[in-house]
Copies of this chain bind each other. A is one copy, B any other.
Amino acid sequence: MRSVAITNIGRLVTNDQSLGAGLLGELRDAALVIEGGRVAWVGSSKDAPSADHGIDAAGRSVLPGFVDSHAHLMFAGDRADEFAARMAGESYSAGGIRSTVAATRAATDAELESRLASLAAEMRSSGITTFETKSGYGLTVEDEARALEIAARHTSETTFLGAHVVPREYAENGAAGVDAYVTLVKNEMLAAATPHAKWIDVFCDRGAFDADQAREILLAGKAAGLAPRIHANQLQHGQGVQLAVELDCASADHCTHLTEADVEALAGSKTVATLLPGAEFSTRAEYPDARRLWAAGVKVAIATDCNPGSSYTTSMPFCIAVAVRDMHFTPEQAIWSATAGGAAALRRTDIGHLGLGARADLIQLAAESPIHLAYRPGVNLIRSTHLAEDFTN
């Protein structure tokens, strides 16, 4: 089995507190030995055992690759004009998820896959080594299934989000149309999506699905073998977070509006609160305060929410900088949330850390300290991104 030693790491973030100091399990002047794509040894650079191949980090920082647990990459079209109108305080009649639905339905498979590949490449260059992606812009049996089939070629973390919004052709029939769409989602659409999906998700919020509809759909997904996650409490206080805990969702995503009861429920559960700084940034919405989540002992993740309407970023460093500035994460907390937190939100133990046995998905920073990710906003500090497989050839 081929071994690779990375030596002379100025600061190594392991996220394993048995290996190093603080929340990030940080070691100085460290080395890492990788065997068969897995972390086999971590310690002081001067004690590093020999290996088949050596990489000199020259004092730079090394971190686990970022884990982006929430993205919407299966779409076509562009909403730059809607964004510009929103930023100028103007209304924009053609906007909304439904305009992306129309563009996505009209796109060829090749167009969808090419867009996905381009965004995935951007993510990789921003240090993301694992990304989740959802369907949700097809909203027909065929369009949801094809989105997930294409996505599954690029990531194992695929999420069926037929319940993103009620499509126009159902919404125009009022309550009966909504009921009919919910029935479609949890039956034929779910059946077509299941072979290509790992997760099921519902947008449980104002203008989308209520808690009863969300519960029905998520329970149907669980019965079909998908694991649940949920868009909750983005636009207002609601029942999404409580439902996430009730159903043992891996993650409640957004969490912009939380009551004390919501925070307590999360703290007493295994459900991760996934915050999405890009969404509040790009919609000029008020940011949630992460301090109360951390203080209560909630596990917190940060993800990009990459989508063409409300957060068209693929940059985890950008999300970290905004999380620190505007959500009051400490830099260390933000880095943990973008790595270990994202892994927890996907219920993965093989990624998000560099402890013994972890996948060697990692980033070399062009900086001496991981804090530079927040201290140097907008600057591309990702010198290189490596997947475990890169170390096995």
A313 to B367, CA, bound (A): 13
Interface footprint category on A: 35 or more
Question: How many copies of the chain does the oligomer comprise?
Answer: 2
A317 to B83, CA, bound (A): 16
Q: Which residue of B lies closest to A89 (CB)?
A: B328
Query: Which A residues, 350 to 377, have Cβ-Cβ distances below 8 Å to chain B?
Result: 368-369, 371-372, 374-377
A378–B319 CB distance below 8 A: yes
A140 within 8 A of B: no
A281 within 8 A of B: yes
Residues of B near A371 (CB, < 8 A) are 80-81, 83-84
A372–B331 CB distance below 8 A: no
- What per-residue 1/0 map shows which CB atoms of A160-174 lie under 8 Å from chain B? 000000000000000
Q: Which residue of B lies closest to A318 (CB)?
A: B378
Q: Which residue of B lies closest to A315 (CB)?
A: B378
B281–A377 CB distance below 8 A: yes
B281–A88 CB distance below 8 A: no
A227 to B331, CA, bound (A): 40
A274 within 8 A of B: no
B84–A317 CB distance below 8 A: no
A315–B379 CB distance below 8 A: yes
B330–A88 CB distance below 8 A: yes
A126 within 8 A of B: yes
A312 within 8 A of B: yes
Q: Which residue of B lies closest to A118 (CB)?
A: B366
Name, among A78, A284, A376, the residue most crowded by chain B CB atoms within 10 Å (CB to CB).
Answer: A376
B80–A369 CB distance below 8 A: yes
Residues of B near A319 (CB, < 8 A) are 378
A313–B281 CB distance below 8 A: no
A286 within 8 A of B: no
Closest Cβ of chain B: how far from A287's Cβ, in Å? Answer: 11
A126–B378 CB distance below 8 A: yes
A314–B379 CB distance below 8 A: yes
B376–A331 CB distance below 8 A: no
Given contacts A281-B325, A282-B325, A368-B78, contact A375 B83 (CB under 8 A): yes
Excluding A281-B321, A321-B378, 18 further A-B contacts by CB distance (< 8 Å) are: A80-B372, A83-B374, A87-B328, A87-B374, A122-B379, A122-B380, A281-B325, A282-B325, A284-B325, A312-B375, A312-B379, A313-B376, A313-B379, A315-B377, A317-B378, A318-B378, A319-B378, A380-B380
| Chain A positions near chain B (C-beta within 8 angstroms) | 78-81, 83-84, 87-89, 122, 125-126, 278, 281-282, 284, 312-315, 317-319, 321, 324-325, 328, 330-332, 368-369, 371-372, 374-380
24 interchain pairs, CB-CB under 8 A: A78-B368, A78-B369, A79-B375, A80-B369, A80-B372, A81-B371, A83-B374, A83-B375, A84-B375, A87-B330, A88-B330, A122-B379, A122-B380, A125-B380, A281-B377, A282-B375, A312-B372, A312-B375, A312-B379, A313-B378, A314-B379, A315-B378, A378-B378, A380-B380
